[in-house]
Structure 1
Amino acid sequence: MTRNWLPIKTNPWTLGLPLIAMLWLLHIFDAPQRLNFWIYDTLITAYPADIAPDVVLVGIDERSLDDLGQWPWPRAVHARLVEKLAAAGAETIVFDVLFSEATPDDPDLASAMAAHGQVILPLHLSPLSSNQLITTHLPAPDLATAAAGLGHAHVELDEDGIARGTYLRNGLGDRLWPSLALAAAGVGQSPGPDPEAAPYTNVRQQYRAVPLAGGAGTITAYSYSNVVSSPPSPERFRNKTVFVGATAAGFGDILPTPFSGLRQPLSGVEFHAQAYSALVENRLISRLPESLSLVLAIIILVFLAVALPRMRPARALGLCLSIALTLLITQVALLLIGSVWFSVAPALIVATLAIPVSSALRLAMTNRFLNRQLDDLAMGPAMSLPKPSVRHPAQLLSHFRALLQPRGWLVAKDEEVIDAEGLSLADVPELTENGRWLHRNNESWIRLVRNGTIYTIGLKLPNDLSREAIQRYLQRLPLMEASTDEPHRSPRENVSARIERVRKATHQMNQMQQFIQRSFESMPDGIIVTDELGVIRFANGHIEEWFGEPTPSLSGLPLARLLDGHDPRETTPWHETVSETLTLAQARTVDLRLSEKSFLIHFAPFALPGSEQNGIIANVSDISELREQQRQHREAIDFISHDVRSPLVSQLALIEQLKRNHGQIDTAQLDQLGMLARRSYHLAEEFVQLARAEQLTETRFYECELLNIVENARDSVSEQATGKGIQLVLNGQEDLWLKGNAELLERAVINLMTNAVQYSPSGSTVTILVFSAGHEACLTVNDEGEGIADEEMPHLFSRYRRQKSSELSGNHGTGLGLSFVNVVVEKHRGSISVDSRLGVGSSFQLKLPMMPPPR
């Protein structure tokens, strides 16, 4: 039944309110700020600033500490540095070294500073202890008097711990100090007190971002000890501003920057030197208030909330991308050209989120109609496959137990055990990734998240050859929901047309399901379809009838549990057969016994749509009539092998006893009786061998070598050939490896050789050839006997059929020897052919599929 539906529309409120909520939520987690920092760092590192030509660095590096001794050095050493730099013509000397405490050498340093006249010293603001207020720590009085200027050495770290700029003015409320770079530039006269701040309040003004030129080593640097110990170098320092500070690793302040991050932080003196370079080059960047960024984001949000509901998806996408590109270009232009840092991150996030939010609203409204149509589809036969990723962990464990029969298991919710045997919480390893199996020897563990709750599942698998296959199967099993992309749809097609197409497709799918359902129900065999965990998802009416289980109870029942409940077995249990079908992706055929009737169940893996895993299609065939015929056949074989062979063996023993007791019985008669008894025995023996050959399956195959088999057969026939004066010649030196039953193959070769000896004249030669042809192993037996008539060739391998010429020549037999050879060759998927000419001889050739030799 088709239900009515309303046209799909959105309005500014349905789009605007979710965007506001998402923007507010992202703002709580500082997502706009992180995006803002990322854009700034990307631009700054992509377009680094140039260093002013008059800036150099004298670093207190590792070499200086080795040469001049342990820190702190006497201030007379610093005085010598000032004198050397003054002699070299340095215009300004800026120390990034704190001289807060007075020492006896202060007059020497003060005298050198005063003689130069342009030495800048740092100060810093910090509390004396954790319980005290911030105070200003000035240089020692003599040094402060001799200094041309004082500047604070503080660098501002942003919320992410990265140093991007500094405040040009910083101090307590009673006096503000310029930054070290501002003082070095000669414009650092400190203004008066801040009238709006208390004297003990830390006041920071005029924040400026520093466009760095690079990481550590960007500025030309000289070793402190080298400058002190060498003659003045005017070519290095004349008319230069020299920054002096610590650059040795682990010594002095270090700052993570956009260039270095936390891996290779920048020394404080290098940061101040680059700040000075940007200041004198007029490149310092002003940062606009964040309130302006929020205002821009709100304007963009209102515009999109009004415009997008009226536009097609393609045009809406183009509009949002255009706005995002315009915002990025604006920020790049302001930053690189206007030296203004204006964050467009909030507006950029709004423009980016508008498309998925708008599309989600459209899809949500479309789903109202689609869900109604899908309800109609659900009224038909249920053929859906619930994904393992949506099943409860306790249910998953139940399926694993039925499928894999683990030796131990555990399922826990957070730290609470739900079900366990042979495993405990103490055995749980560290699981770092959700939804991914961790295999540890014969234990497999996984952590799953369902509705915010963490579940842990552990399995202790059998420590045999099946363990690796099961663990590979578990690794492929999708237990976490994977994200899928929406299929592409033509933007020119309106939503109403797509809804109509979905309605028609739903109707067609319903008809197809009914067709498939009726087809399965009409099949002569029982059909069971499972998912990737071996759980039954479909069964036709035959299964309900034969197993005596109603169809609703079959759905969701593990296949191994169903079979084990009706035909339990210890040898090759059902769970092993089902498990190997899934894990090894190999077909299996097994006998099944239900209600005194015989069945044959064939397990075949098949690839599930949209998954890397396999399910199982189990075909159950009623072979009761065939089994009855086989039973009768086995009874005949048992009769021949027991009721005929056993008394004949006793008869042979009695004959041998009579031969030893010479009496009235004629020896010739006894020999004749023995010959007949042996013939009867051979008849029974060949019946038994033929029955074994007919029941041969590949489960009894193993690796064997053809040349070795032929040599053993030749040794068995050699006595018979010697008795007739026949020579057996074997030609073959190559090892030819097969997968088969060596015992029956040897018996087949013996039959061929025995026939060749039996039908060859005395003094002749029987030639045996063993060779390879392509991927086949070949055996040829050539004799020089009477040959086979053309009219007898079609019946050569028929049972109980013997050659007329053989009977006339007195070579009596059962007619089962060549039939046995033919059955053995067919069971090995090979072929046998005969080439014979009367009066010349016969040639029998066997061809068997060959396998690579074992390593």
Structure 2
Amino acid sequence: MRLFRRHPPRSTKRRLLSWLVVAALTSLALAALTASPLTTRLDNILYDRLQRASARPVDPSILIVGVDERSLRELGAWPWSRARHAAMIDRLTQAGAKAIVYDVLFSQPAPDPADDAALASAVTRSGKVYLPQFLESDGQDGAPPTLVGPLPELAQGAAGLGLAHVRFDADGVVRRMAPFEADGPDLAPDLMTVVHRATKAFDAPDATRGSATTLLIPFAGPPDRYRQIAFSSVLAGEIPPDLIAGRTVFVGLTAPGLGPAFPTPVTPDAASMTGVQLQASVLDGLRGGKMVKPAGLVSRLTFALSLLWLLLAGLLVLPPRANLLLLASLLAVALGVSAALFGVAHLWLSPVAAILGLAVVSLLWGWGQLGRVNDLLGHQLDRLRSAGPASARDEAGFESDVVARQAFSLGAAITRIDDLRRFSADALFSLPDATLVADAERRVIAANAAARTLLCRAPQATGGGTLAGALNALEPLGRTFPPTWPTEADSGRAIDLHLADGRAYQLQTVFRRDEAGPKDGGDAGWILRLADITPLTAAMRQREQALQLLTHDMRSPQTSILALLATTPDLPAEISERLAACARRTLALADGFVQLARAEVTQTTMEPLDVCDVAVEAVDELWPQCRQRRIEIRQEGCDAPMMVLGDRGVLARALVNLIGNAVKYSPDGAGITVRAAAVLDGGRTFIDLAVADQGPGLTSEEAALAFRPFQRFDRPGAAAADGAGLGLAFVQAAAARHGGAVTCTSTPGQGATFTLRLPEAVG
């Protein structure tokens, strides 16, 4: 008996009708998408990539004279006197400049009328100077902008005037220019339109005379590709006339922050192309005939719909695999044609709308095939649920359609996943750690071999007993588990169990739910793991014993030395003091080493506590030293409790070390601030306890090394020279054990701030 029902093939008429519906709907949608601005952002991204990939040589006849940082250093702060600008125009004119584009607006009279007269005279003598105009809005809604130009005496002698107007796209990037801008009922030419028409050859192409209202700027590359010389170098006569002769010279602001800078497709950041560099790029594109014209709506519709109908025709007559190849080919054609028109014909015809249309129609057409696959998958899932004997191999010849065969393959994969699930369960129970599985009532329903071996003296515990009973059968020292153990709060919490025979185990439980979830009674039960940590416990015990022995052996001789020095008055005072200092240093080193080792490995006893109270205890402990040196410690931010989950003794020692360091390094009579604050970091709330001193501070390199063991930074006159270099290492170990961190921020000569960050106690 077959598990699946064969679906009769659809008629040709129905298939054609479906094709016509898909074709009509997608054509209308694609036309609307092409005419709308919805793809503008994607269009701009693709255009910018093409622009950056099409770098070309710049026009060698363009030269920029920049008001750069060197000029500002040599000539003084901007703005400069107009007599200096007049001298520049005379220099460029005498050197034989073909045209001088002076990108500075002289719209207001100078304090000294003689300066304006000198500049006007220089402009008139040159006869090659082109000056900018600007459209200025008065801020009233609907009011036309006002045309602002240079002083009348300057405009009268200029070779030409034009708008220096920058057009921004919706994303704030400059990609285009307008040969003419509306000035009330008239059209005002762009400055580069004026310069280009005045300086081009008679038969040279002129993109400003076309029908396009805007032109895309063909940036030749980053702005530094145009040759640039310093304003001060020209005035000083350092530039040979041959470098200027016959060139179109742009004079403008290029120093960072001195004038406006604009984001463009070829600049890596939002402020790297100055206005004079932007104008040079526009003139370069106009002269080279490389200005890019945006394609019109008719061209864009024809391009997008042509590709779409080619794909639709393929869907009607080609098999699925061939249609996949056709789709990839059409996508490549869309990108290739757009790139070719951009690079060769200087026409921007975005393929984004066409690509989206091809993708949408492929999805719509594929939904029909997915409907058949859905029916087949339904039968396969029924077979999987009922665990019937039929296999995918028995039905392999049922359907010759590629998509249907993929559905059968998926059914076989589901079968393999089911086998893999059983394999995973077998692997779980073959783990070396003792593992028990219990139901929602905490009754043991399965145990692996390691668990049965461990509980061999209580076999009933692994065959229907409770988890608590199984653990109590081990007779752990100092602990008895109640029948209601574990609870959901115990899930994931590690518990150490020690047995009478010296063995030690780490117990961990996981609360799990079945696929139905809690709404449908989905509590599935528990998984319990007992990991043998006997060797680790023995090693830790031996380590502690060795540490105690080492500490005793180090302390006893030093204590004896101090006692002997105290009872031996015959030694010179200097030698006696040096020996005593060395002995005390060794004692401090031993104590610090023990504290650090225990902070790193000793099990901490966590409890909710107010970190402000712990700070008060640390301040009280250091009060004698502070009083002796007249140091005042202020506490801030402790108006309300700052609760953390921690070990009171460890945190108290850590704060004593931090505040003690501040006291050691602070000068007599200084102030120390202990500030508590709650901060949000990564979605979690932390308590920051910052200790700020007025000591000599640390360099950035010293701050990075401050928490290394035995790291000390001696300062002239600082009491910290007696330390062993383990205090901050202890603080870092304590912070790590509490799930926090400690940081240092400092500036030499301005003190240091050490911040201990601890997770806030929840609940």
Identity %: 27
Residues of 2 paired with 1:28 and 1:541: CA distance?
67
Residues of 1 paired with 2:422 and 2:80: CA distance?
94
Structure 2 counterpart of 1:183 = 194
Asked if structure 2 preserves the Cα contact closer than 8 Å seen for 1:8 and 1:366, the reply is no
Structure 2 counterpart of 1:115 = 125
The alpha-carbon deviation at position 62 of structure 1 amounts to 2.2
Q: Deviations over 1:176-201 (max 9, x none)?
A: 22222221123499xxxxxxxxxxxx
Report the residue type matching 1:112 in the other structure: A
The within-5 A match list for 1:452-471 is: none
Report the residue type matching 2:153 in the other structure: D
Q: Deviations over 1:748-797 (max 9, x none)?
A: xxxxxxxxxxxxxxxxxxxxxxxxxxxxxxxxxxxxxxxxxxxxxxxxxx
Residues of 2 paired with 1:273 and 1:300: CA distance?
38
The alpha-carbon deviation at position 511 of structure 1 amounts to 12
> Structure 2 unaligned runs (5+)?
201-210, 389-398, 426-434, 448-461, 473-478, 500-506, 514-523, 546-763
The alpha-carbon deviation at position 221 of structure 1 amounts to 0.9
**Structure 2 residue 304 is matched with structure 1 residue 285:** no
Specify which of 122, 129, 132 is matched with residue 139 of structure 2.
129
Asked if structure 2 preserves the Cα contact closer than 8 Å seen for 1:588 and 1:604, the reply is no
The within-5 A match list for 1:373-392 is: 373-379=380-386
**Structure 2 residue 77 is matched with structure 1 residue 77:** no
Specify which of 390, 397, 402 is matched with residue 494 of structure 1.
402
Structure 2 counterpart of 1:151 = 162
SS in 2 for 1:48: coil
Structure 2 counterpart of 1:777 = none
Q: Deviations over 1:113-142 (max 9, x none)?
A: 111111101111121334543111122111
Residues of 2 paired with 1:146 and 1:156: CA distance?
28
The within-5 A match list for 1:31-180 is: 32-103=39-110, 104=113, 105-131=115-141, 132-180=143-191
Report the residue type matching 2:165 in the other structure: H
Residues of 2 paired with 1:363 and 1:576: CA distance?
48
The alpha-carbon deviation at position 270 of structure 1 amounts to 0.6
Report the residue type matching 1:118 in the other structure: K
Structure 2 counterpart of 1:6 = 7
Structure 1 counterpart of 2:538 = 702
The alpha-carbon deviation at position 285 of structure 1 amounts to 1.4
The alpha-carbon deviation at position 24 of structure 1 amounts to 8.8
Structure 1 counterpart of 2:376 = 369
Specify which of 252, 263, 273 is matched with residue 259 of structure 2.
252
The within-5 A match list for 1:500-649 is: 563=466, 571=480
Residues of 1 paired with 2:245 and 2:62: CA distance?
11
Quick check: 228-237 or 136-145, which moved more? Answer: 228-237
Report the residue type matching 1:2 in the other structure: L
Residues of 2 paired with 1:511 and 1:223: CA distance?
77
Residues of 2 paired with 1:493 and 1:265: CA distance?
58
Residues of 2 paired with 1:515 and 1:91: CA distance?
84
Report the residue type matching 1:494 in the other structure: V
Residues of 1 paired with 2:103 and 2:68: CA distance?
14
The alpha-carbon deviation at position 82 of structure 1 amounts to 0.5
Report the residue type matching 1:349 in the other structure: L
SS in 2 for 1:259: coil
SS in 2 for 1:125: strand
Q: Deviations over 1:226-265 (max 9, x none)?
A: 2123267312211111001111111222111111143452
> Structure 1 unaligned runs (5+)?
190-203, 382-490, 518-526, 543-558, 591-601, 609-614, 621-695, 709-855
Residues of 1 paired with 2:329 and 2:45: CA distance?
21
**Structure 2 residue 349 is matched with structure 1 residue 342:** yes
Residues of 2 paired with 1:86 and 1:571: CA distance?
102
The alpha-carbon deviation at position 589 of structure 1 amounts to 14
- Describe the shift of the 1:207–1:516 C-alpha distance in structure 2 as closer, same or farther (beyond 3 A): closer
Report the residue type matching 2:98 in the other structure: E
How much is the aligned-residue C-alpha RMSD, in angstroms? Answer: 5.2
- Describe the shift of the 1:308–1:539 C-alpha distance in structure 2 as closer, same or farther (beyond 3 A): farther
Structure 2 counterpart of 1:321 = 328
Asked if structure 1 preserves the Cα contact closer than 8 Å seen for 2:96 and 2:245, the reply is yes
Structure 1 counterpart of 2:729 = none
The alpha-carbon deviation at position 66 of structure 1 amounts to 3.2
Structure 2 counterpart of 1:213 = 220
Quick check: 287-296 or 335-344, which moved more? Answer: 287-296
Structure 2 counterpart of 1:410 = none
The alpha-carbon deviation at position 577 of structure 1 amounts to 11
Structure 1 counterpart of 2:573 = none
Residues of 2 paired with 1:497 and 1:112: CA distance?
85
Structure 1 counterpart of 2:282 = 275
Q: Deviations over 1:252-296 (max 9, x none)?
A: 221111111434520010110121122112211111124532443
SS in 1 for 2:178: strand
The alpha-carbon deviation at position 619 of structure 1 amounts to 11
- Describe the shift of the 1:65–1:379 C-alpha distance in structure 2 as closer, same or farther (beyond 3 A): same
The alpha-carbon deviation at position 156 of structure 1 amounts to 1.8
Q: Deviations over 1:527-565 (max 9, x none)?
A: 9868xxx989999799xxxxxxxxxxxxxxxx9xx9579
- Describe the shift of the 1:342–1:501 C-alpha distance in structure 2 as closer, same or farther (beyond 3 A): closer
SS in 1 for 2:39: helix
Residues of 2 paired with 1:85 and 1:223: CA distance?
13
Asked if structure 2 preserves the Cα contact closer than 8 Å seen for 1:48 and 1:211, the reply is no
Report the residue type matching 1:179 in the other structure: D
Asked if structure 2 preserves the Cα contact closer than 8 Å seen for 1:153 and 1:180, the reply is yes
Structure 2 counterpart of 1:420 = none
- Describe the shift of the 1:141–1:6 C-alpha distance in structure 2 as closer, same or farther (beyond 3 A): same
Question: Higher Cα Rg: structure 1 or 2?
Answer: 1
Asked if structure 1 preserves the Cα contact closer than 8 Å seen for 2:443 and 2:466, the reply is no
Residues of 1 paired with 2:256 and 2:300: CA distance?
39
SS in 2 for 1:702: helix
The alpha-carbon deviation at position 109 of structure 1 amounts to 1.3
Asked if structure 2 preserves the Cα contact closer than 8 Å seen for 1:297 and 1:347, the reply is yes
- Describe the shift of the 1:507–1:175 C-alpha distance in structure 2 as closer, same or farther (beyond 3 A): closer
Asked if structure 1 preserves the Cα contact closer than 8 Å seen for 2:437 and 2:528, the reply is no
Asked if structure 2 preserves the Cα contact closer than 8 Å seen for 1:321 and 1:351, the reply is no
Specify which of 294, 300, 304 is matched with residue 297 of structure 1.
304
Residues of 2 paired with 1:8 and 1:218: CA distance?
65
TM-score w.r.t. the length of structure 2 is 0.51
Asked if structure 1 preserves the Cα contact closer than 8 Å seen for 2:130 and 2:158, the reply is yes
Report the residue type matching 1:58 in the other structure: V
Q: Deviations over 1:633-691 (max 9, x none)?
A: xxxxxxxxxxxxxxxxxxxxxxxxxxxxxxxxxxxxxxxxxxxxxxxxxxxxxxxxxxx
